[in-house]
């Protein structure tokens, strides 16, 4: 069986390893357009301020390991430009590779809007190790940094650049940072930026840049903002344009529609990771939430399915967490905006509680907001912000969402307790206890 995988990172190589384990006669060819395989993209920001010493530390397995240890024909510098599903051949500049089964795992690429002078030196997007190397080179002499976009990458980059000693601002087109949060929760993020001297420009639309060869300022609808280094973090787009002339079904944003086995609408073609759709269990529909955790899970399912092991991807709840200076910011399920878009009727419950026993040294506040469906009393979503204990609670809530639990069900969970780790009633259970009628 000839397996071809387009893309040599999380989803693609996870799939490749599952095929290696489950089909001993497999002939596997992987086609990666860069020179680097299998690395942790989510760790890239933390190279900027030295928390991670080198981008080399992010590489899980080198291309040589895949070739020599696992017998994979792992190719670099191979950008696929066309797929002929009828002939079952993939094409690129100077090469063609036939397949029996094909996996598309091309990921997503940062969006760069068509702003004036966007090609000036010093303007960067962050997705790959070579892009990070370019940024590190320019950051050495930079003093004033503008981060365009207040989402996950924008907030992380603002933090690490500030910690690296730069003067940093964030420019956000909308009325708030962290759009994954509801408006009544985001003030914690805005206050954190203020406390760490990160200037925030809200309702500010970028139109272009000033400079001769290198960027000198960001031009917006409210004036110019000086900057000798710019990070553009306004979102990503699935890297699937090369499929435009195929019959593979895609969403409007280009994400490839897949079934629970990661099969596409075209026979013998599969897709996984940031280029594919992700079934959202709370929304009960195809979604697009590009995260490394999901890419690895979908890659595993794709590889097993291609090798004849028909397991199912059970979906996501949209769980995410990020660090912004002293805060952890976490969400799972629906926020109010998405619940209203889906016409879901819901209750809102909020609580501020300690992350550990209140009498134990240095308890930190947790700010919790939970949505519960009115008709079924099922949990719909949570937003949790705090300096400590956030990750534990969001994971508990995400697990509860996967099992379709109700607010009342949280009271029965047998959660770990000792004063250095928790209160006798966990913060989530405190919220439930205050709002569940007897």
**Over the stretch 370-414, which tens digit does the pLDDT of each residue have?**
999 999 999 999 999 999 999 999 999 999 999 999 999 999 999
Pairing of strands 365-373, 217-220: unpaired
The pLDDT tens digits of the residues spanning 122-168 come to 999 999 999 999 999 999 999 999 999 999 999 999 999 999 999 99
Q: Is 42 an active-site residue?
A: yes
Question: With contact defined as beta carbons under 8 Å apart, do 14 and 303 qualify?
Answer: yes
pTM of this structure: 0.96
Cα angle at 398 between 393 and 402, to 5 degrees?
150
Strand partners, 236: 110
Is residue 48 over pLDDT 90?
yes
Check residue 255 and give its pLDDT: 98
3-state secondary structure of 39: strand
Check residue 437 and give its pLDDT: 86
* 314-317, long-range: CB < 8 A, 24+ apart: 314/260, 314/279, 314/281, 314/402, 315/278, 315/279, 315/280, 315/281, 316/278, 316/279, 316/280, 316/281, 316/287, 316/289, 317/280, 317/281, 317/282, 317/398, 317/401, 317/402
* List of residues 6+ apart from 153 with CB closer than 8 A: 45, 126, 233
| Average pLDDT over all residues of the chain | 97
- Mean pLDDT along residues 413-430: 98
Give the pLDDT band of residue 210 (cuts 50, 70, 90).
Answer: very high
* List of residues 6+ apart from 437 with CB closer than 8 A: none
The pLDDT tens digits of the residues spanning 62-84 come to 999 999 999 999 999 999 999 99
Check residue 310 and give its pLDDT: 87
- Mean pLDDT along residues 208-225: 98
H/E element, 292: helix 292-306
Is residue 320 over pLDDT 80?
yes
Catalytic residue among 1, 42, 121, 136: 42
Check residue 438 and give its pLDDT: 76
Q: Report how many helices (DSSP H) and strands (DSSP E) the chain contains, helices first.
A: 10, 25
């Amino acid at each position: 069986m000839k397996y071809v995988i387009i893309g040599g990172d999380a989803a693609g190589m996870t799939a490749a390893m599952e095929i290696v384990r489950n089909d001993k006669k497999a002939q596997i060819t992987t086609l990666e357009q860069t020179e680097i395989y299998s690395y942790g993209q989510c760790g890239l920001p933390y190279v900027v301020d030295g928390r991670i010493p080198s981008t080399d530390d992010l590489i899980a397995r080198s291309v040589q390991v895949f070739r020599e240890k696992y017998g994979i024909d792992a190719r670099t510098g191979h950008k696929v430009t066309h797929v002929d599903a009828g002939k079952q051949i993939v094409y690129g500049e100077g090469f063609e590779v036939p397949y029996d089964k094909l996996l598309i795992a091309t990921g997503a690429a940062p969006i760069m809007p068509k702003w004036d002078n966007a090609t000036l030196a010093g303007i960067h997007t962050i997705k790959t190790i070579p892009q990070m190397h370019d940024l590190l080179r320019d950051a050495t002499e930079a003093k004033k940094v503008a981060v365009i976009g207040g989402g996950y990458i924008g907030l992380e980059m603002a933090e690490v650049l500030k910690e690296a000693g730069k003067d940093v601002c964030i420019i956000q087109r909308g009325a708030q940072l962290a759009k994954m949060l509801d408006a009544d929760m985001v003030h914690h993020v805005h206050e954190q930026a203020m406390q760490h001297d990160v200037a925030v420009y809200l309702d500010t639309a970028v139109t272009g840049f000033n400079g001769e060869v290198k960027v000198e300022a960001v031009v917006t609808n409210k004036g110019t903002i000086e900057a000798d280094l710019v990070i553009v973090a306004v979102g990503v787009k699935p890297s699937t344009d090369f499929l435009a002339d195929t019959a593979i079904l895609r969403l409007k944003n280009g994400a490839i529609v897949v079934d629970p086995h990661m099969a596409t609408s075209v026979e013998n073609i599969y897709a996984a990771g940031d280029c594919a759709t992700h079934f959202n269990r709370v929304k009960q529909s195809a979604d697009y939430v590009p995260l490394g955790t999901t890419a690895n899970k979908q890659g595993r399912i794709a590889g097993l399915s291609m090798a004849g092991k028909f397991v199912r991807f059970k979906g996501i709840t949209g769980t995410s967490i990020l660090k912004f200076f002293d805060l952890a910011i976490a969400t799972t399920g629906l926020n109010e905006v998405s619940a209203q878009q889906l016409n879901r009727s819901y209750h809102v419950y909020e609580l501020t509680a300690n992350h550990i026993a209140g009498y134990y040294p240095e308890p930190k506040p947790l700010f919790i907001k939970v949505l519960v469906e009115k008709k079924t009393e099922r949990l719909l979503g949570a937003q949790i912000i705090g300096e400590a204990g956030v990750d534990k609670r969001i994971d508990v809530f995400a697990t509860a969402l996967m099992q379709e639990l109700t607010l009342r069900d949280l009271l029965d969970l047998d959660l770990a307790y000792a004063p250095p780790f928790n209160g006798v009633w966990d913060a989530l259970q405190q919220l439930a206890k205050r709002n569940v009628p007897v």
